[in-house]
Amino acid sequence: MEEDKGTVCVTGGTGYVASWLIMRLLQHGYSVRATVRSDPANCKKDISYLTNLPEASKKLQFFHADLNKPDSFNTAIGGCIGVFHLAHPMDVDGKEPEEAVTKRAVEGTLGILRACLNSKRSVKRVIYISSAATILYNNKGLSVTDESTWSDLDICRSSKLVNPSYLLSKTITERAALEFAAKNGLDLITLVLPLVVGSFICPTTPSSVSLALAMILGEEDHYEYLMHSFMVHIDDVASAQIFLLEYPNAQGRYICSSAEMTMHQMYEFLLARYPEFQLPNMEDHFKKSTSYGHSSLSSMKLLSTGFRFKYGVQEMFDGAIRCCKEKGFL
């Protein structure tokens, strides 16, 4: 265990990426304040996977905060040296109007950033977790995209694959956060994530893990999402967040993607690596994927800081499958 490095806040603390980050922050010597939507005193949700972490009894606190009430984050953030903002409204089924989802995401995020400004400048840096959805949906025809690329809002609105409200809310919210930070002199870093795959400590299978394992789980509705996949290991994501909090010269956006696979490549990999699973016939899906245009994601900006990815595709899937087996999902 490292020395005490100070207190940081993690919003959306019960999620897949957030819970793994909290575990690593505690190991790195940080005290952590995690925000949850339900009042921790009366929370019916099982959060023992967090409270049972080493050092949690001494260094992990929970605070009730909701993006619908931006001021609710003030108490959790006051006195922290850093904030990791991971909370985001999830309207997977598209039941809410896009405008409502985006409004909640933007106003909640700006409320969090105002709390950082009002913290008597104790907050030295904010790490905002963004998505590759903010980059990939454009018609620029680029073979490689980097942090200078943004998704086109009209293309996001016309998406038939991913829920438009998610694409729009993530893109508009990240832009709003960067603009607010620039205007108010707040040190804000955004980390752009693709599909996050690997082990998990949360009690349910993370949606990104279910998506990556769609062929193994037989979830045919998800196959189309795997036409061309960009991925990163969960532990590399946590390491990148902590690295960027501590790296003095960090600025702006950083793409954090370490692997990409076509649907056919993923199928061949799974077939060879995990022969115990009966994979579906994918020929019809392969035909669709061959005509699917794509642009690669460049993580060169992140790598130029000295950060290095530790894990590859094999470790991503090994960890995900092992956890699914241990928890009875496979």
Residues designated catalytic: 170
Q: What would the two tokens of residue 330 be?
A: 């496979």
What string of H, E and C letters represents the secondary structure of 234-259? HHHHHHHHHHHHHCCCCCEEEECCCE
Which DSSP state fits 159? -
Cβ burial of 229 (10 Å; 0-12, 13-18, 19+) is: buried
Query: What is the rounded distance in angstroms from the CA atom of residue 167 to the CA atom of residue 144?
Result: 20
Query: What is the rounded distance in angstroms from the CA atom of residue 103 to the CA atom of residue 71?
Result: 15
Cα atoms in the Cβ-side hemisphere of radius 13 Å centred on 260: 15
For residue 308, give every residue at least 6 positions away whose Cβ sits within 8 Å of its Cβ, in sequence order, or none.
Answer: none
Residue 115 sits at the vertex; the CA angle it makes with 112 and 117, to the nearest 5 degrees, is: 115
Query: What is the rounded distance in angstroms from the CA atom of residue 151 to the CA atom of residue 142?
Result: 12
Q: What would the two tokens of residue 271 be?
A: 């077939």
192: enclosing H helix or E strand: strand 188-193
Total residue length of the chain: 330
Query: What is the rounded distance in angstroms from the CA atom of residue 302 to the CA atom of residue 238?
Result: 14
Q: What would the two tokens of residue 35 be?
A: 């925000």
